[in-house]
Amino acid sequence: MKKIVAYILLMFFASSYAHAQEKFIHKIGPDNVKIQFAGNIGVVSTGIGYSLFSDKMQSCLLYGFVPESIGGQDIHTIASKNTFKLFEKSFTQCFSLTHSIGFSLNYSITKNTFIFLPKQYPDDYYAPNAIRFAPLFSLNFIYINKNINLFNNLNIYFEISTLDNYLWYYIKSRAFNFSDIWNLAIGTTIPLKRI
């Protein structure tokens, strides 16, 4: 009898724990998936994102890749991108346009990037180059159709960004045009439906 009571109690607490764990995972699960072409993160990048503060802020973690055939060597980049909605203009019930500003912190992994100066160089010979700050501006076209069950929201964005060192070189030398330091990206944000 004691074994049966112990088993019932164990099952009760285990199911309660599993339900609590499921609720916790649901709370921390991402709100969307992003896919992006270009934009200082990679030829193609993808990752997960979160909508915060009633959709006023978007935060995402992306992985980008540039193949050797394009970049001279394989380049892997991990980026934390954060955007802040400046304003939203609704044109119809289904279509709206938003402008956002933001930044990403990009960590590039190659044979030639480093956070700490390699031992073969004297101190301060090179500045660390593996982590870059990238300010950005984006324009988002959002289509929402609540009559469709799956994929009822389509967000396509265009984004211009630059890197901190490009801005620094432009300010310091003016050897190239301001338009030369910017990069154009196009991407989509696919919302994940919460069940």
The pTM for the full model equals 0.79
128 and 183 together in one domain? yes
4 and 45 together in one domain? no
Residues 135-188 pLDDT 10s: 999 999 998 877 766 667 889 999 999 999 999 999 998 788 899 999 999 999
Q: Which domain holds residue 147?
A: 31-191
Task: Indicate which CATH number applies to the domain containing 89.
Answer: 2.40.160
Q: 38-68 as b/e, with b when 16 or more CB fall inside 10 Å?
A: bbbbbbebbbbbebeeeeeebbbebebbbee
Residues 10-20 pLDDT 10s: 666 665 555 44
77 and 35 together in one domain? yes
